[in-house]
Amino acid sequence: MLHEDIIEYILFNYRWIFVCIFLLPSSFMYDVYIFFKNWISFKFYLDTAPFNHEEKVKNIQKQIRKWINSGKQQPMCTARPGWKSTTIAEPQYKQDFYNIEIGDMTEILNVDMQKQTVLVEPLVDMGQLTRLLLPQGWVIPVVPELEDLTVGGLVNGQGVETTSHIYGLFQHICTSFELVIADGSVIKCSKDENPDLFYSVPWSYGTLGFLTAVEIQIIPTKKYVELTYEPVYSLESIVKVFEREIKCAEGNLFVEGIVYSKDKGVVMTGKFVNNPKNVNSIGRWYKPWFYKHVEQTYLETGEKGTECIPLRDYFHRHTRSLFWEIEDIIPFGNHWLYRWILGWMTPPKIAFLKLTQTGVIKKLYTRTHTIQDLLLPLSVLNKSIAFFDDVYHIYPLWLCPFKLPKSPGLVHSLNGEDEELFVDVGLYGMIKDRPYDSVKTNEKCIKFIRENKGYEMLYGGTFSTKEEFYEMFDHSVYNKVRKELNCEGAFPEIYDKVNKKARV
């Protein structure tokens, strides 16, 4: 026991040595490889991408037929290793399921500027899309911040961004899906074609079929975001200003809040511009991390300000610091000397961090750490911040507004209106100043969310019971689709893939 305590102390305080010496260079070389691979693929093989895609789909179909012929003894799931995902939780269920190799589904298949859509495979990530689309004057309307987030993860799971109060969640900018289902056939769905399936795929975690292609809206854009920062110094002011800017009559394209303590925060609003003033290229490796820049430049001075940020820098503003998670791994990561010497390799890949986790680190994270996005009606934001301050007391908190339509599917507005304004409250970090029981704390959190008709994002797993899970998420259309597509025995239900016993 004493031996483990010593190891835990060393890993907690000095993991940065391993990260800086090994993981940063490995992550950088991997990024270079992926960049050139994607560049070559798009530059020279775009015409063959649809053909390559067909071959990949046929390979999935072949494996499903083999599963059928083998007697369907286990449910199916993708063979993609759990460490490659951008979630902190490890999907243990893969060890007991029949693994299907989905292949290198990382290609952008088509950009249709007349139709204003982009067609992609599910492992295309946000970094690929912004690198390709922005130079052509286009972007998808909802760009979740971290570059490594994949389209498939954002569809089967969920995604949100500071434009979501206008466009909704990531699922709401998708116009069609292509899947290989339990009998090995390929099926396409949209609002007009197989609509029940179309509305059931988001949040379904691969329990209806294997997602093989997604068509996403694109919108014209400009070169910069003009971002205005407003510091606020009470809980009431945080909520009041945040709500005011979401509902602003002139219309803010971007709205975001960072709460640094219960009574201190900064509300940011933005719009596209082509003729910038006061440009700040926040994505440069030597620049302060974005949330630190906001805190030091605006919150601590009490001054409201405006600056223009290059578009790609803005969309991925939280990537270098993984919001504020890197500070727990590399405590001095925002120091100017570190940024100049090693900032160009930061951050380490989340996948590599997971791959090199020891059992002791996993236990340590379970006991002291939380990563959650909790989706609650805007009307309860005040008491939500107060509740999370009392139960978790970790800062900063991330506030991202979004509209939730009353459409079919697992997640939708419950207030009886066509749509409702929600807020994603992001809690990321170490609980340092109080005892933390992850099970009891998260059970309190689940109770609070249910009482206030909210939802929890599921990428980190859920502590809900199955009954509580069904109460939170509307399974009516989903269950109908599962029955129609004969998913029973072929794919587990969502709860069986996201409960804490399935993800550690």
pLDDT digits over 348-398, tens only? Answer: 887 777 777 766 667 767 777 888 999 999 999 999 999 999 999 999 999
Band (pLDDT 50/70/90 cuts) for residue 47 is low
In which domain, by residue range, is 231 found? Answer: 224-320
Q: Is residue 258 part of a domain?
A: yes
**Pairwise pLDDT comparison (128 vs 364), residue with the higher score:** 128
The residues that bridge with 210 in the sheet, in sequence order, are 180
Residue 417: partners with Cβ closer than 8 Å, 6 or more residues away: 406
Q: What is the mean pLDDT of residues 93-107?
A: 88
What tokens appear for 368 in the block?
A: 């002291």
Q: Is residue 473 part of a domain?
A: no
Q: What is the mean pLDDT of residues 334-349?
A: 92
C-alpha to C-alpha distance for 267 and 134, rounded to whole angstroms: 26
What tokens appear for 402 in the block?
A: 């979004």
- Top mean pLDDT of 22-36, 261-275, 366-380 is at 261-275
Q: In the prediction, which pLDDT does 9 show?
A: 61
Q: Is residue 33 part of a domain?
A: no
- Phi and psi torsions of 8, nearest 5°: -60, -40
- Structural domains in the chain (count): 1
Band (pLDDT 50/70/90 cuts) for residue 475 is very high
Would you say 231 and 261 are in contact if contact means Cβ atoms under 8 Å apart?
A: no
C-alpha to C-alpha distance for 423 and 259, rounded to whole angstroms: 13
- Top mean pLDDT of 12-21, 271-280, 430-439, 456-465 is at 271-280
C-alpha to C-alpha distance for 31 and 215, rounded to whole angstroms: 25
C-alpha to C-alpha distance for 458 and 202, rounded to whole angstroms: 12
Q: What is the mean pLDDT of residues 464-487?
A: 95
Instruction: Put residue 34 in one of left, alpha, beta given phi > 0 → left and psi -120 to 50 → alpha.
Output: alpha
Q: Which residue has the tokens 């805190």?
A: 295
**Long-range pairs for 380-385 at CB < 8 Å and ≥24 separation?**
380/452, 380/454, 381/239, 381/242, 381/243, 381/423, 381/425, 382/235, 382/236, 382/239, 383/452, 384/423, 384/425, 384/448, 384/452, 385/235, 385/238, 385/239, 385/259, 385/262, 385/425
- Total-model pTM: 0.92
Q: Is residue 62 part of a domain?
A: no
C-alpha to C-alpha distance for 380 and 3, rounded to whole angstroms: 46
**Pairwise pLDDT comparison (249 vs 185), residue with the higher score:** 185
Q: Is residue 397 part of a domain?
A: no
Biggest distance spanned by C-alpha atoms of the chain: 68
Q: In the prediction, which pLDDT does 23 show?
A: 86
**Pairwise pLDDT comparison (86 vs 185), residue with the higher score:** 185
pLDDT of 4 above 60: no
Q: Is residue 266 part of a domain?
A: yes
What tokens appear for 13 in the block?
A: 């305080």
Residue 487: partners with Cβ closer than 8 Å, 6 or more residues away: 181, 182, 207, 208, 209, 481
Nearest to 356, CA basis, from 56, 51, 72, 16: 16
Q: In the prediction, which pLDDT does 86 show?
A: 66
Q: In the prediction, which pLDDT does 8 show?
A: 60
* Choice among 182-196, 282-296, 457-471 with the minimum mean pLDDT: 457-471
Would you say 484 and 442 are in contact if contact means Cβ atoms under 8 Å apart?
A: no
pLDDT of 98 above 60: yes
**Pairwise pLDDT comparison (414 vs 394), residue with the higher score:** 394
Q: In the prediction, which pLDDT does 312 show?
A: 96
C-alpha to C-alpha distance for 132 and 138, rounded to whole angstroms: 9
Q: In the prediction, which pLDDT does 149 show?
A: 93
Q: In the prediction, which pLDDT does 490 show?
A: 95
* Choice among 81-85, 284-288, 296-300, 353-357 with the minimum mean pLDDT: 81-85
Q: What is the mean pLDDT of residues 207-232?
A: 97
pLDDT of 2 above 60: no
Residue burial 257-277, b: 16+ Cβ < 10 Å; e: rest: bbbbebebbbbbbbebeeebe
Q: In the prediction, which pLDDT does 12 show?
A: 64
When the pLDDT of each residue in the chain is averaged and rounded to a whole number, the result is 90
Q: Is residue 262 part of a domain?
A: yes
DSSP character for 20? I
Q: Is residue 375 part of a domain?
A: no
Q: What is the CATH number of the domain that holds 266?
A: 3.30.70
Q: In the prediction, which pLDDT does 360 show?
A: 64
